[in-house]
Structure 1
């Protein structure tokens, strides 16, 4: 509970939100769905800004990919027609797995989930990292200046204490939001690049029960060009664990010939080599050694499914072109 809360603001303009978040004398935080914020014990938070009227709940697409507004709920991700086929449903499936409760998915937002980071225990974070998603953040400023009265050639009245509202935007890779985002920056949207037509994606998770948080999860994205793997993304995460790109595995697979049919022994050897330094953190639910051992099988299954889907889509795309 926020026991020291003294201010509640219902904002109707993003610029007003940015000015409130930028205050140094009162610690102010944004209130999105509230599923995380209202349950924490943080006596330093003195004010919240409700974001419900900012029109940030949207899912749109352009030639480059998707734009998902920060106030879009996880349930909207699950039900969106645009996400059904995007990256073979990776975002839709991971959003659904992030919470077994539809009530929570109707409240939890993608912006709040990204902002909370590992404390949200959301499978969606791993999928966003695997898709090379970026987060658009915006910060505001207020500058007070005194204007002079002009000259004989350009006459004008002098004005004192004129206030200018300004803003600055920047993009942060989703895997770096926790360390790169500044306290006064507001998450505006998530930007997800569109995978090629000859691509496949997969999402796997291990948990004590289907409704429980993931002890470990894996998201894989494979893109094929010609007869080789042009792009390989493999990310792993879990409860109380930052999503981690397995860069060594990706480098070993990128540029190699397509395995059709899949060479299980070769893939397993590549994983053993690429995951030799994989050291996930321990959690109350799972030890580091458990995650390290089970991660090998989980990564294998995720890559296997993504490769099979990419192979099939590559063949279909080639037939259409011919």
Structure 2
């Protein structure tokens, strides 16, 4: 519990939140769903800013991609017709797998999940990594300038010590938020590139029970164009483990002809070579060696399913175009 809390702010404007987060005298943190923060034992936190009244709960689509507001709950993602359709339902399934409790999913938000990182134990983080999702963060900025009165040729108004308040937004890859996000930055939304028609995805997981957090999970995305694998993304994650993109495997598969039927031996050889440097961390649930050995089989199953779905989508899109 936050035993040293002395302030509780209910914000109605993002600028107000940024002003509060930017204070140096009182440690202030944003409060989203509260599923992680309210159970945190951190006596240095003195103030929280409730974000519920901000207009940040939405799921939309435009020419730039898929936009998911930071205050969108995991259950809203599970129920979204758009997310059930796009990427073969990968985001909706990952949001559901991130917590077996609907009560938690009704409170936990995508922004809070990303900000918490591996401590959230969420399969969603690995799905976002494999989709090349970017996190939009915003911070308040202040610039102090001294404007002199000018000269006879160029007269001006003398303004000394003027402070200009502005906003600064930037995008961070979802897998780099923990390292790159600054304390006073607020997560605004998640942006995911639009998928093509011939895209296949898969999400595989290993856990002690279906309702437990995953010891290890794998997410894969395959895009097919002109009978070749135009894009291959593969990531592994798990409890207390940041998602790891397997770039070696991806590079060996991208540009290769579609394997139809699937060449199991070739795929296994690629995985063995591409995962040679895969060294996952250990925790109380699983050892590093267990994850390393199990990761091979899990990655194979994820790629196999994603390849089959992408091939089927490619056939369907070809029939629609003819």
What TM-score range do you get, normalising by the shorter chain? over 0.9
| Cα distance per residue 1:256-308 (max 9 Å; x no partner) | 11001111111111111111111100011000011011111110110000000
- 1:46 lines up with 2:46 in the alignment: yes
Q: Quick one: distance in 1 between partners of 2:142 and 2:270?
A: 54
Q: Using the TM superposition, give the Cα deviation of residue 239 of structure 1 relative to its aligned residue in structure 2, in angstroms.
A: 0.5
Match of 2:181 in 1: 181
Equivalences for 1:63-142 in 2 at 5 Å? Answer: 63-142=63-142
| Cα distance per residue 1:70-122 (max 9 Å; x no partner) | 00000000000110111000000000000000000000000000000001000
- 1:209 lines up with 2:204 in the alignment: no
Secondary structure of 1:52's counterpart equals coil
Q: Using the TM superposition, give the Cα deviation of residue 64 of structure 1 relative to its aligned residue in structure 2, in angstroms.
A: 3.1
Q: Using the TM superposition, give the Cα deviation of residue 141 of structure 1 relative to its aligned residue in structure 2, in angstroms.
A: 2.2
Q: Quick one: distance in 2 between partners of 1:262 and 1:241?
A: 31
Q: Using the TM superposition, give the Cα deviation of residue 26 of structure 1 relative to its aligned residue in structure 2, in angstroms.
A: 1.3
| Cα distance per residue 1:35-94 (max 9 Å; x no partner) | 000111111111111111111000010123200000000000000011011100000000
Q: Using the TM superposition, give the Cα deviation of residue 160 of structure 1 relative to its aligned residue in structure 2, in angstroms.
A: 6.9
Match of 1:306 in 2: 306
**Contact kept? 1:144, 1:163, Cα under 8 Å:** yes
Q: Using the TM superposition, give the Cα deviation of residue 155 of structure 1 relative to its aligned residue in structure 2, in angstroms.
A: 8.1
TM-score by length of 2: 0.95
Q: Using the TM superposition, give the Cα deviation of residue 8 of structure 1 relative to its aligned residue in structure 2, in angstroms.
A: 1.0
TM-score by length of 1: 0.95
Matched pairs, number: 321
Q: Quick one: distance in 1 between partners of 2:155 and 2:81?
A: 58
Q: Structure 2 vs 1, CA of residues 160 and 53 (structure 1 numbering), >3 Å: closer, same or farther?
A: farther
Equivalences for 1:258-297 in 2 at 5 Å? Answer: 258-297=258-297
Q: Structure 2 vs 1, CA of residues 46 and 321 (structure 1 numbering), >3 Å: closer, same or farther?
A: same
Q: Quick one: distance in 2 between partners of 1:240 and 1:232?
A: 25
Could you list the structure 1 runs, at least 4 aligned residues long, displaced by more than 6 angstroms after superposition: 146-156, 158-161
Match of 1:16 in 2: 16
Q: Quick one: distance in 1 between partners of 2:28 and 2:142?
A: 16
Q: Quick one: distance in 2 between partners of 1:262 and 1:280?
A: 28
Q: Quick one: distance in 1 between partners of 2:145 and 2:198?
A: 55
Q: Using the TM superposition, give the Cα deviation of residue 165 of structure 1 relative to its aligned residue in structure 2, in angstroms.
A: 2.2
Secondary structure of 2:269's counterpart equals helix
- 1:228 lines up with 2:222 in the alignment: no
Q: Quick one: distance in 1 between partners of 2:78 and 2:211?
A: 16
Give the gaps of 5 or more residues in structure 1: none
**Contact kept? 1:70, 1:187, Cα under 8 Å:** yes
